[in-house]
Structure 1
Amino acid sequence: MTNDELRVSADRVLSRLVGDTTGTAKLREDQWRAIEALVADHRRALVVQRTGWGKSAVYFVATALLRERGSGPTVIVSPLLALMRNQVEAAERAGIRARTINSANIEEWETVQAEVAEGTVDVLLVSPERLNNPDFRDQVLPKLAASTGLLVVDEAHCISDWGHDFRPDYRRLRTMLADLRPDVPVLATTATANARVTKDVAEQLGTGEGTAETLVLRGPLDRESLSLGVLNLPDAAHRLAWLADHLNELPGSGIIYTLTVSAADEVTAYLRQCGHEVAAYSGKTEDSDRRAAEADLLANRVKALVATSALGMGFDKPDLGFVVHLGSPASPIAYYQQVGRAGRGVEHAEVLLLPGREDEAIWRYFASLAFPSEEQVRRTLEVLTAAGRPLSLPALEPQVELRRSRLETMLKVLDVDGAVHRVRGGWTATGQPWTYDAERYAWVARQRAAEQQAMRDYATSTGCRMEFLRRQLDDEAATPCGRCDNCAQPRFSAEVSPAALQTARGELDRPGVDVEPRRMWPTGLPAIGVELKGRIPVGQQAAPGRALGRLSDIGWGNRLRPLLAPQSPDGAVPGDVADAVVTVLADWAKGPGGWASGAPDAPRRPVGVVTLDSRTRPRLVHSLGERIAAVGRMPLLGTVTYRDQGIDTRVPRTNSAQRLRALDGALIVPPTLADALATAGGPVLLVDDYTDTGWTLAIAARLLRQAGAEGVFPLVLAVQG
């Protein structure tokens, strides 16, 4: 078949894919160049094109043509379930049978693998985390590498740790790329890669002997349908009120992005209260609820999804009319990617950024989760080596100062680097030499800082906003768009109605969140010398507690973050904070399960207040305890203190086992407090400033219960999360 004949066949497949019954659909020139490279020349190609350009058309058309020539199935590595669902439907329109292997269809894996082996599957979509599953890696991946007719890496910027959304699971692709036959074509696609990431991904695609240089097709990144704007509003209440007043002015249906799960929940509750049809969508949303929310947005049954970045790559709604960000992402590249959800199939879509003062604190938190220090990595390798057997994450976690999610991410990187190996039962050290690339990690950290500054600059820029974003992605064709609020006139007023503002303030000022007590000791404590395991005896547990707010809230979080920041001076609890805590206490007492609820099984009213010793904010905690005792007309019984005043029990952002090891034997109930508990004869309120892991409260409650307290009700200013 000549290339001209191949072009005719390609256009015919495209017509089926897009539902064009006239058969007149034509590929863009760069789409055809990519397909020609894959099908005719069996090359490796990287396509960097704006969202909505038609990257999926390239690999589906190429798949159909390769299958007609007898090639094996196409394997698409795809990051999100929403993307998989959309692509399976798109493939079916072109007569392409597509199946998936991901965490949501475990029961279908064997059937799908059998169908692939039988040759009845044209496209297999695989989630990147499957690549690091031992059974899949050792049993399925080699067979796929041997039989694959085309490998597609979607959202390929995730391969590069230079990029904003690096995912270590993607690094396993290096192994698969190296194992492919040189004549197997490979396609990588992304809409969000600057020049550095593009170069890195192209180099990685060239892995394997006999492979030609990667063809890079990079197009202009302008989105002619998008009108960008920024509204700098005074505070979170004004931003919520603006949404309530103006949401129905935005075209069609869309997405309201928030930076945290708690903010998504807060905004959803407020907008529903104001009569808007919206739904929350985050990483904590159940899969069935996610599917329902996606379907409601696709069918325009809701005005908006209030979502975290969990609704990101791959969600495909061509007529999405707007994207609003309530809070600024830390990267202009991430921002460009998210706003690219809008305006794919409509002439005009609105994009608005409403930055908040909490943004910087949230950026700092996520920056703290970067690749661990060399000391932490070496310690992990030492533990694995000394074990001489596979260690699961629960078994390894107590012996290193890393939380499980961060530990797992680090191990995946080390796995690809050859320092560790994931096997059935856990992880083992390989003994191979490994070098900590401090220079690279430092460069990435500097890049993150530069990206954050770029987002500050974007929010205050007087120049073209689309040009700004395109230049951040190294788009050399960037010119003023003529559509944004700086090129043209702003299309939205910053004014909000008094009624909406009052409602928003009422919503954000409503204090009180639950603090769930710890019920089980972490696994693996005996291995680090802490003889605790299993369920915490009921008679030693804390009762469910309360906090004034979450540090990630856009309401009380904004008030509490400066108060509890490490550099903040210690002092008496501010009056507004103390008053709000009293409100929390009153609502708690009268609410379900409260001692003043009148329920038959309601606990006894607390008979006293106990504070927790604080190394950083002793005046704050003590004054809070005094205020609660005075308002509740209860005695301030005393303080749970540290046995050794010289010991430092602060273990920042570490795991539960390490926190417990630091606390083991460190806290005591002084004799004066024990005597006061015996005299008081009832439950107590346990007051502290902040809880993260919950283990300080759990240990203190256990000691108080053992000293005679009938019950312990934790009451803190803030919780993390």
Structure 2
Amino acid sequence: MNDHEPGPDAGAQHPGGAQHPTDTLRTEADAVLAELVGDPSGTARLREDQWQAVAALVREHRRALVVQRTGWGKSAVYFVATALLRRRGAGPTVIVSPLLALMRNQVEAAERAGIRARTINSANPEEWDTIHAEVDRGETDVLLVSPERLNSVDFRDQVLPGLAATTGLLVVDEAHCISDWGHDFRPDYRRLRAMLAELPSGTPVLATTATANARVTADVAEQLGTGAGEALVLRGPLERESLRLGVVRLPDAAHRLAWLAEHLDELPGSGIVYTLTVAAAEEATAYLRGRGLRVDSYTGRTENADRLQAENDLLGNRVKALVATSALGMGFDKPDLGFVVHLGSPSSPIAYYQQVGRAGRGVAHADVLLLPGKEDEAIWRYFADTAFPPEAQVRQTLAALAEAGRPLSVPALEAVVDLRRTRLETMLKVLDVDGAVKRVKGGWTATGEPWAYDAERYAWVARQRAAEQQAMRDYVGTDACRMEFLRRQLDDEGAAPCGRCDNCAGAWADPGVSAEALTGAVKELDRPGVEVEPRRMWPTGMPALGVDLKGRIPAGEQAATGRALGRLSDIGWGNRLRPLLAEHAADGPVPDDVLRAVVDVLADWARSAGGWAPNVPDATARPVGVVAVPSLTRPHLVGSLAEGVARVGRLPFLGALAHTGPDGPHVARRSNSAQRLRALSAAFAVPDDLAAALAATPGPVLLVDDFTDSGWTLAVAARLLRRAGAGGVLPLVLAAAG
């Protein structure tokens, strides 16, 4: 949470506040603030705590950590300090900001005060050389960079040293991301340790955040003060007097969607509806639009141009709400945002407080509602693969880099280390900052420096994540003040009952929904079918694992685009499928309602514009038979599904692929692509009777399985079937991940 577009409420104290008429620096600072907030009268004044921060940076050249609530005016501090330092001959301010939306808002705010700001991020690579030249010529007052740029080889080696040497002020926005004790740790932020160490003596540093408890605050302050004396910490109360918090408990996902349709227009102004998954955001958006509500979706899948349009539509109140994942979080600034609704509980009360803090910054009243779901904890578990890897896997990575004698890319390391790509990349970034590895052209190398595995710290962080989840359960169930509860989670010493939330003042949100809205929601969530894209390239490094597969999968050996009944992250079919496919769920025949829905998926597939398989020669050809993927864990479920589809579709059941060994299918779902493919590459074979059936019935076949995550089981099975004579392979699964 932060305040990236300061308005009069963001620190513009008018006459009556403390003032020091003989302090010319203070007078100058207040004049800059007046320009920043657009006050032509020139009467705006910094609050005393804002002035204390500015004075520490400009007069004392200190390092400071400001932990203050959203709307306090943290960005006013660093823009005022920038103007004052630049007038005194200091180099440009460098602001490390996590999100593009934040950068856009900050550049606009800076321009109002005559501060020339430029940004370097993934969206403007064509401008980087020009911007670097402008910085070198002293034409830029503020340079905003993403933390990911700090870890880019070219930027780190060619730009960062010179930038560190000339920086007049370093600002670390959303500084809680530095600490792995926090809820939103980002390894790229740890690169700041190196930049801090390289700053010339006396370079002021400002770190800001609104979501740091005492442990995170101490950790960030310690990192800021490394080699530069103790950092000044300015921590204020985190009360948000404009927010009215509440929880509405409803029986299921359909009731929650129906509630949104019935009550969204009753909420003040425009706002944000947060969901836990992309699939849920898309489902909710489709349903609400169908009910005539002006909403748009905003997720990690949304293209940059569409994101910007959605942001502008919300800023201009052209939509009632954006239905968003956490992709719309830090950095989005709309002071008059009237409400935030959560369709499902985040896994951390601090993350929750950060998101609800988007509301009510510039208005006296904003509503905040949480609609928890029974599926929330299953979704938490699905996305919980964030713990630092065990020491053996870390040592294996270091050994592989040391023995390679050359840089290794992440895909090449996947062939050696059994970690999913995102987790492997995170681990490497941490090791980079610890000095054990280094990112270079072409990948990663080992430095040979000694490195210790901090098992105690990693275990504590894991326990912290579990404690955060329990705290979120407690928030939903508490009968005490909700604002006080959240403030205590942030170790806010001034926490006291707010008098406004549903527990303090009584329930204020009507939980009722009409039969019509509920029927529509059930229909939306019961709509089956999502596409399953096939794998088209083999993973890098397979020959090194003894598997002779590389490059593009030949078109004649690929699967077609398939179908799944739903995603495990759906709030509709996902809720039905998660218990059915849970790790310890009992095996049994496919339930009748599930089979009927699968048949509906097939009927819709047959009617689709491209036909059954646009990438096989006879695109409109109906499948000629059904083949099953053998399952060791759910053989009855998969077998009954394949036979049921064949029976209803009046297709011959041609048989199942055969296992070639007991170990092949036992591949952890969290393994990376290379390791999965290595285990699967020789796990199946086409039995003679199935080969004969394929030869006797030429044409595409339906390939039936229970679940697809990485897509490699389907890719391997499709390759075998195509090589055995199948005219095409059409994957059909109950559930897809993501």
Could you say which TM-score interval applies, normalised by the shorter chain? Answer: over 0.9
Structure 2 residue matching 1:70: 3-state secondary structure = coil
Q: List alignment gaps of at least 5 residues for structure 2.
A: 1-19
Pairing 1:326–2:348 present: no
Contact 2:560 2:613 (8 Å CA) reproduced = no
In the alignment, which residue of structure 1 is the partner of 2:175? 156
In the alignment, does 2:418 pair up with 1:401?
Answer: yes
Return the match for 1:296 from 296, 299, 313.
313
Q: Structure 1 residue 84: deviation in Å?
A: 0.4
Counterparts in 2 of 1:86 and 1:647: CA distance versus 1, 3 Å: closer
Instruction: Report the counterpart of residue 145 of structure 1 in structure 2.
Output: 164
User: In the TM superposition, what are the counterparts of 1:203-242 in structure 2 within 5 Å?
Assistant: 203-208=222-227, 211-242=228-259
User: How far apart, in 2, do the equivalents of 1:207 and 1:104 lie?
Assistant: 33
Match of 1:40 among 59, 66, 78: 59
Superposition map of 1:520-539 within 5 A: 520-539=537-556
**Residue correspondence of structure 1 range 166-565 to structure 2 within 5 A:** 166-208=185-227, 211-565=228-582
Opposite residue 27 of structure 2, the aligned amino acid is V
Alpha-carbon distance, 1:177 to partner: 0.7
Q: C-alpha offsets along residues 200-257 of structure 1, whole Å, 9 cap, x if unaligned? A: 000000112xx23111111000000000000011100000001011110011111111
* Partner SS, residue 216 of structure 1: strand
Shift of 1:526: 1.3
Tell me by how many angstroms 1:602 deviates.
3.5
For 1:358 and 1:595, how far apart are their aligned partners in 2? 33
- Which digits, 9 at most, give the CA deviation of each residue in 1:246-273, with x for residues without a partner? 1100111111111111111111111111
What is the aligned counterpart of 1:123 among 142, 152, 166?
142
Q: Partner of 1:46: helix, strand, or coil?
A: strand
Give the residue type in structure 1 aligned to 2:152. N
- 1:649 and 1:380 mapped to 2: Cα distance? 23
Query: Where does structure 1 lack aligned partners over 5 or more consecutive residues?
Result: none
Work out which of the residue numbers 82, 90, 100 in structure 1 matches 2:101: 82
| Identical-pair percentage | 76
Does 2:122 match 1:103? yes
The 2-side partners of 1:720 and 1:402 are apart by: 18
Task: Check whether the contact 2:699–2:726 (CA below 8 A) recurs between aligned residues.
Answer: yes
Q: Which amino acid counterpart does residue 61 of structure 1 have in structure 2?
A: V
In the aligned structure 2, how far is the partner of 1:596 from the partner of 1:93?
56
* Structure 2 match to 1:5: 24
Aligned-pair distance for 1:524?
A: 2.0
Q: Which among 68, 85, 88 is matched to residue 87 of structure 2? A: 68
1:620-646: CA deviations, max 9, x gaps?
001111111111112211111210135
Correspondence list, 1:620-659, <5 A: 620-659=637-676
- Verify the 8 A CA contact 2:665 2:680 in the aligned structure 1: no
Checking the alignment, whether the CA contact within 8 Å between 1:458 and 1:465 is kept in structure 2 is: yes
**Offset, 1:568:** 0.7
Q: CA deviation at 1:680?
A: 2.5
How far 1:68 moved relative to its partner? 1.1
* Kept in 2: contact 1:590–1:596 (CA 8 A): no
Partner of 2:112: 93
Identify the residue that residue 673 of structure 1 maps to in structure 2: 690
Structure 1 CA distance, aligned partners of 2:411 and 2:515?
52
Secondary structure, aligned partner of 1:702:
helix
Question: What is the aligned partner in structure 2 of residue 49 from structure 1?
Answer: 68
Structure 1 CA distance for aligned equivalents of residues 22 and 527 of structure 2: 67
Query: Number of aligned pairs?
Result: 718
Quick check: 2:101–2:331 contact (8 Å CA) kept in 1? yes
- CA distance in 1 between counterparts of 2:126 and 2:544 reads 35
Between the aligned partners of 1:283 and 1:305, the Cα distance in structure 2 is 13
Distance between the aligned counterparts of 1:518 and 1:325, measured in 2?
Answer: 34
Rounded Cα–Cα distance in structure 2 between residues aligned with 1:647 and 1:39: 64
In 1: Cα distance, 2:421 partner to 2:617 partner:
41
| Residue pair 1:45, 1:214 contacting (<8 A) in 2 also | yes
Question: What is the root-mean-square deviation in Å for CA atoms of aligned residues?
Answer: 1.5
Deviation at 1:370, TM superposition (A): 2.3
C-alpha offsets along residues 59-116 of structure 1, whole Å, 9 cap, x if unaligned? 0001111111111111100101000000000001111111111111111111111111
What is the rounded CA distance, in whole Å, between the counterparts of 1:378 and 1:687 in structure 2? Answer: 39
In structure 2, distance between residues paired with 1:72 and 1:168: 27
Instruction: Please report how far the alpha carbon of residue 596 of structure 1 lies from its aligned counterpart in structure 2 after TM superposition.
Output: 11
Q: Secondary structure at the match of 1:345?
A: coil
Whether 1:684 and 2:701 are equivalent positions in the alignment is yes
In 1, Cα distance between equivalents of 2:697 and 2:258: 48
Alignment of 1:590-601 (within 5 A): 590-595=607-612
Q: 1:534, CA displacement in angstroms?
A: 1.9
- C-alpha change, 1:646 and 1:297, in structure 2 (3 Å) is closer
- Counterpart secondary structure, 2:107: helix
> So what's the TM-score if we normalise by structure 2?
0.96
**What secondary structure does 2:564 align onto?**
strand
Instruction: Provide, for residues 492-520 of structure 1, a one-character-per-residue CA deviation record: whole Å limited to 9, x for no partner.
Output: 11001111111111000000000111122
Partner amino acid for 2:185?
F
Within the candidate set 708, 711, 724, 1:707 is matched to 724
SS of residue in 2 equivalent to 1:71: coil
